[in-house]
Chain A
Amino acid sequence: MQCEICKTRTATVHLTEIVNGQRAESHLCQNCAQKEGVTIKSQLSLNELLSSLIAAHQQTDETSGSEKSRRVCPECGITMEQFRKQAVLGCPKDYDVFETDLKEVIEKTQDNNLTHKGKVPAQILNSSNARPENHDKIEELKKQLSRAVEKEDYELAAKIRDQLKDLS
């Protein structure tokens, strides 16, 4: 294909521009494209973009790596590295502390499932020791709790559970 501007050299730069929904293609040689300021800009920015991406990637890798090995559960003192070695966690809080890393492990071992379906402990749904004056409020909260669980809004469910605990 010939360059659309000089009509002599072979077109090696192929541009597709979409202006107002209209697609326009132009085929230029290296020289003409340079004169038009097209290739130089895009090539440079692409290189810049790539190297900055790699640098950023390396940086996040380094920081997250050191953060990972440094991150210790305040409750039981375990690190992710220790978990990987012994395959058991140190305390229930670890599921929050190492949430991101554990997500991967859980997905892999649990056939990509990430949310609980099934039984909820009797104590949470059954506030039989509740003071009588709180009865109506508790009933309402229980309804809200079931709805939150149904909608998989676990943050809300946890809040309602805490309120229920306070009333019991």
Chain B
Amino acid sequence: MRLTDLSTRTSQWFDPNVPLSDIVISSRIRLARNLASHRFISRCDDKEKQSILQTLKEIILSLRQLGDIAFIDIAGGSVLERDLLIERQLISRNLAIGRGPRGVVIAENELFAAQINEEDHLRLCVLAPGLNLDKCWQQINRIDDSIGEKIEYAFSFRYGFLTACPTNLGTGIRVSVMMHLPALKMTDQLKKLFDSVKDMNLTVRGLFGEGTEAIGDFFQISNQVTLGISEQKIVEDFQTLIIPKIVEYERIARDRLLVKDANILDDKIARALAVLKSARLISSHEAMFLLSNLRMGINMGRIKEISIGTINELFLLTQPAHLQINKGRPLNAEQRDILRAETLRAKLN
């Protein structure tokens, strides 16, 4: 698998042809694991990291259930390659900027990633498009079992899986759902939603932006508590209660916009399309913001001639590392803004 194979296509977790995908982009489950026989990463020298990397890499690459998989060496890779993997949600910024031997095993379909020597020795991750946490859990649970049969995990009966940071202790599970919530944003209801979400011990973070400030109204909702609640319970709560409720709120907000503020809505969508179709220089921030409005317009039936698939594709192709890898060379900010505008015009006109 070459990274240039990835950079020209849309990730499978961005597939728009699944139920609820107008609001729920993707589901993801991550498990944090450590080997019993080693110290945690912060106390490992390069030699110990290399030994952990080798052990885990061999075990994971030998798993038959994963289909086509490949190991990508992060320590030896270029900054652009690392950024591409971040933009495609396959590795964390933490792994990219880490030190010493580290890497990731990814499935060719990009629905599985195993980061080695991130904050924990192993961070398993399974993704699916739309709301499909049950399937993610079944898959990651099986993969975890297969690895756990071959190696001894750091585990105590009292505290469960032992992790470098106590915030991941117990199940080591992080369930995250990526959502597009433009109507809640337009109707000023996000703060209310986030406050109630925080009361339920959940975290909300912006997707493409830094911190909680989201660019383009994409948000990731995840569990905060990992100890004292079983994996199944967390997954079930997300799948059947929390996410369906937020989807319902977003739908109500969209319906209200159509009844009350159809003119404002249509103006916003038409302006977004006009700029995206004709800009000659466009920043990543502005492109995300306008693509988000356009995505809402298509999902609400206000624009018919463009598919959601095209918009999802553009979200990835206009990211900085994608532009540069697809161009085949590093570009400065102005060159990227020109190429981004060209890419958008070519796909939308």
Contact = CB atoms under 8 A, between A and B. Distances in A.
Interface string B137-162: 00001001110110111111111111
Contact of A110 (B157, B164, B170): B170
Interface stretch (B185-193, B225-233, B271-279, B313-321): B225-233
Contacts of A88: 40-42, 119, 164-165
A154 to B, nearest CB: 4
Nearest to B41: A88
Nearest to A106: B166
Contacts of A149: 157
Contact of B145 (A115, A122, A152): A122
A19 interface: no
Interface string B165-195: 1110111010000000000000000000000
Interface of A: 75-78, 86-92, 95, 102, 105-106, 109-111, 113-124, 126, 128, 148-149, 152, 154, 157-158, 161
Given A116-B158, A122-B149, A123-B149, A110 B227 contact: yes
Contacts of B160: 116-119
A86 B42 CA distance: 9
B39 A95 contact: no
A119 B161 CA distance: 9
Nearest to A90: B43
A120 B46 CA distance: 30
Given A87-B165, A89-B165, A116 B159 contact: yes
Nearest to B151: A123
B226 A110 contact: yes
Nearest to B155: A121
Contacts of A123: 148-149, 151-153
Nearest to B37: A92
B227 A114 contact: yes
B43 A111 contact: no
A145 B231 CA distance: 20
B166 A109 contact: yes
B293 interface: no
A140 to B, nearest CB: 18
B349 interface: no
B7 interface: no
Interface in B212-237: 224-232
Contacts of A124: 155
29 contacts: A75-B39, A76-B40, A76-B43, A88-B164, A88-B165, A89-B164, A89-B166, A91-B40, A91-B43, A106-B169, A110-B226, A111-B224, A113-B170, A113-B228, A116-B160, A116-B171, A117-B228, A118-B160, A118-B170, A118-B171, A119-B160, A120-B155, A121-B155, A121-B161, A123-B149, A152-B158, A154-B156, A158-B156, A161-B157
